Structure 1
Amino acid sequence: MKITGLKTFAVNAKMRTWVFVKIDTDQAGLYGWGEGSLEWKTRAVVGALKDFEAMLIGEDPRNIEHLYQKMYRQSFWALGVIGMSAISAIEQALWDIKGKVLSVPVFELLGGKVRDRVRMYTHLGGGDMKAVYETFSVEPLIELANNVINNGYTALKVVFVPYSKTIDGQNKVRRFADMFGKLREAVGQDIDIMVDFHGRTTPAMAIQYINTIEEFHPFFCEEPVRPENIDSIKLVTEKTKAPIATGERHVSIYQYKEIFEKNAVHVIQPDLCHCGGLWAAKKIAAMAEVYNMGVAPHNPLGPVANAVALHFALSTPNFLIQEDMLTDVPWRWDVVETEITSENGYWKVPTKPGLGIDINEKEAKKYPFKQEIIHSNSIRDDDNAILDW
């Protein structure tokens, strides 16, 4: 069995562009799908996927780890998020092929299921970028949160942390705490609320923000500071009582090493479309397990990424909860053919071989790539200085 080619599909989905890859083989009707969607780097990822094609032609697609090592190590230059997103997409497609060859769902190849359903959470506003990232008033915040709950979710994520300077005044801290308190009052004690800081703050500000909402018991506070400095993240963890999470912007197992060695957080968030794919994520999760850390994968991406995340969650003991973005565009399920379904905030166990999905290429081509909105262009201080979004 040999790989004969690679095709890419860039599908504009309003808030993001989904980057799908199809790996073809010399066996009639046998192919695999993967996803490497990366915000505002679509053309770069598509180019990287085509660059890797020459390494794959003629290889046996069942030798997944071998091909991962070939792409990673023989690239020579250290791979950043663009190269790792391309590898992740290819690696996922290889698992899809292997599951089809063996006539089993992918999670059976990853150790089998350790749970019977997978808990999900989502963001406010679905595919409306401003609703997700700029809901800074109480009334729309509560309305959007209730919409999420009415769709069956028992957990949701909010991103109303103020855009912050190195040090900001008490007004922002008080306004943030007031919004969280009113949200908690509105949704009750049975709904878990995660706060995505989106790397907008420094340790000095993150500690103040988190300590003011301690009484409302956030499920976790995500990426309180930019991810490059692990000591800064660890400082926030040490000075606050709420669980702290990070990891969506770390790629490869090597970038997680310092997080584990320093016990820097309580929850890690690898993105299976950026960290190297399913097997790399399983390695990261295994390291996290040694340090008693939970795993809550990052995934606001497309339908192939959802399928991949489901197989990971079903087979990973220290999995915690799964992010999704299922309401970004109304035609999401026209592009993908799948048996994967959800009920009351949980994904059900799939039974089809491989990842259990197929892309309707005709439908996908109805939404060709176009330049995404660069949301971060508008994130400025009152003196026009650039802030983290």
Structure 2
Amino acid sequence: MSFPIKITGVKTVVVNAELRNWIFVKVETDQDGLYGWGEASLNWKTRAVTGTVEDLTPLVLGQDPRDIEHILRILNKHSYYRLGIVGATAISGIEHALWDIFGKSVGLPVWRLIGGRTRDKVRVYTHLGLGDMRSVYETFDEGALRDKALAVVEKGYDALKVVFIPYSGFSVDIPSRRHVGRLMRVLREAVGDRVDIMIDFHGRPASIAAALQFIEELAPYAPMFCEEPVLPGDTEALRLVTERAGCPIASGERLIGFKEFEPLFRQNALHIVQPDLNHTGGILEGKRIAAAAEQAFMGVAPHNPNGPIAGAAALHFDVSTPNFVIQEEMSGAVPWYDDVVSVPMRRTGSYWAVPEAPGLGVEINEAEAAKHPFVQEPFHTQGAVLPDGTIADW
């Protein structure tokens, strides 16, 4: 479409997916039938994000949705106060929808507009439980770990992620370290060497020494990477862990925008960056991060435990990004997933196919979505307490 297009409205649709709320963002235009979908889901911040989208909407009304860089500058610079993770997530959802509109307006998939094809298929991994969040965060038993891992492999995946690092302080007792080693050994023996294993530390170790003690137990079993071994924000600590670890280190899901990633590249602080396109500012900001990562000899493995539109946005990013490594995905997280949303992700084994539909290739059934309204998500952080009662990082 060569004629002007104007944004006429922005709205959110919240869908409760049991242990999290999906926040879908719909950007409407003055062209009949031309609209875009994005996602701005953020754990335990649903009302904050939807309110922020509402607050930002007046800034984009009347703008041409295809002028994405221009609109992003408006949203970031005319907000005056720095927006933080809530604002960046709201902007990400709006930005996804703008790309969806742009692709539909020219009849092309988004990946064609952000660099074109760099691969023929996109490798993905999932978590224990195949989308069941209870399995993701509560598998510390050796037998349950083995069974759930084998169930993932039986579904065709050749890569999976686990979270079995205990809540930790500044030091780690020997039994806790040995238990992590046993869990990793059981897991590797169960799935064999042809399946990649990633271990998410969730930033639980409170010191470099504690992180390295756990990594020492894991490294002999060749993890694909250890994720977020220390809390984000301390680049020097992450660099020291990376230098001493006997395996690849990944991090980045909680960072916002290129500015927060830049020190990691400058200091060679890790091996794989994990921007979340749902939180870091959107697809365009993700491309900037990926380009800088490539110059620093780092791969990109986007974080995404979010909803279906976030997965679609990640798919288009992955197709067009040369230093992409592997994609986290959570498809099928609820039984009615396909009733609410149609998505372009089509999995064969451990790969998504390259989509060809215009835009992001997503459609929401708003009538079905309305059957699953907002519910306060459960806080599964109660166990993040040390034996003496000290609150630990979840």
TM exceeding 0.5: yes
CA offset digits 1:155-207 (Å, max 9, x no partner): 00010011111112111111101110111011100000000000011211110
Q: Quick one: which amino acid aligns to residue 35 of structure 2?
A: Y
> How far, CA to CA, are the matches of 1:43 and 1:13 in structure 2?
15
The 5-angstrom pairing of residues 16-31 of structure 1 reads: 16-31=20-35
1:167 to 168, 171, 187: 171
**Which residue of the partner structure matches residue 130 of structure 1?**
134
- Alpha-carbon distance, 1:385 to partner: 1.6
Q: Deviations over 1:207-229 (max 9, x none)?
A: 01111222210000000011021
Q: Which of 226, 236, 242 is the matching residue for 1:237?
A: 242
Aligned partner of residue 375 in structure 1, secondary structure: coil
Provide closer, same or farther for how the CA distance between residues 349 and 173 of structure 1 changes in structure 2, counting only shifts above 3 A. same
Which letter does structure 2 place at the counterpart of 1:223?
A: E
Q: Which amino acid in the other structure matches residue 272 of structure 1?
A: L
1:251 to 253, 256, 266: 256
Partner deviation per Cα, 1:43-85 (whole Å, 9 max, x = no partner): 0000010011000111111100000011011111112100000
Alignment partners' CA distance in 2, 1:340 and 1:153: 15
Q: Using the alignment, how far apart are the partners of 2:375 and 2:382 within structure 1?
A: 17
Mapped partners of 1:370, 1:131: distance in 2: 21
In the alignment, is residue 224 of structure 1 matched against residue 229 of structure 2? yes
Give the secondary-structure state (helix, strand or coil) at the position aligned to 2:381: helix
More off after superposition, 3-12 vs 119-128: 119-128
TM-score of the superposition, structure 2-length normalised? 0.97
Aligned to 1:316: 321
For residue 101 of structure 2, the aligned residue among 87, 97, 102 is 97
User: Is the 8 Å Cα contact of residues 344 and 360 (structure 2) preserved in structure 1?
Assistant: no
CA distance, structure 1, for counterparts of residue 383 and residue 333 of structure 2: 22
SS at match of 1:10: strand
- For residue 364 of structure 2, what is the aligned residue in structure 1? 359
Q: Where does structure 1 lack aligned partners over 5 or more consecutive residues?
A: none
Of 130-139 and 285-294, deviating more is: 130-139
1:150 to 154, 175, 182: 154
Q: 2:336 aligns with which of 323, 326, 331?
A: 331
The CA deviation string for residues 355-383 of structure 1, in whole angstroms up to 9 with x for no partner, is 00111101111100010001113321122
Give how far 1:339 is off: 4.1
Counterpart CA distance in 2 for 1:216 and 1:150 is: 21
**Take 1:301 and 1:129, find their aligned partners in 2: how far apart are those partners?**
11
- RMSD (CA atoms): 0.9
Name the CA distance, whole Å, in 1 between partners of 2:66 and 2:344.
24
Match of 2:191 in 1: 187
Partner of 1:3: 7
Question: Distance between the aligned counterparts of 2:383 and 2:340, measured in 1?
Answer: 31
SS in 2 for 1:164: coil
Report the secondary structure of 1:221's partner residue.
strand
Aligned length: 389
Q: Secondary structure at the match of 2:55?
A: helix
Structure 1 residues 239 and 340: CA distance shift in structure 2, 3 A: closer
1:215 to 215, 220, 232: 220
Could you list the structure 1 runs, at least 4 aligned residues long, displaced by more than 6 angstroms after superposition: none
* Partner residue, 1:45: 49
Q: In structure 2, what is the equivalent of residue 373 of structure 1?
A: 378
Kept in 1: contact 2:50–2:90 (CA 8 A)? yes
Alignment deviations for residues 132-160 of structure 1 (CA, whole Å, 9 cap, x no partner) = 11211110001000111011100000100
Q: Output aligned runs, 1:56-135, within 5 Å.
A: 56-135=60-139
**Is the counterpart of residue 340 in structure 1 residue 363 in structure 2?**
no
| Mapped partners of 2:339, 2:127: distance in 1 | 22
User: Cα deviations across residues 307-349 of structure 1 (Å, max 9, x unaligned)?
Assistant: 1000000000000000001131111111112343111111111
1:21–1:35 contact (8 Å) kept in structure 2: yes
TM-score, normalised relative to structure 1: 0.99
Using the TM superposition, name which of 336-345 and 78-87 deviates more: 336-345
Q: Distance in 2 between matches of 1:27 and 1:324?
A: 33
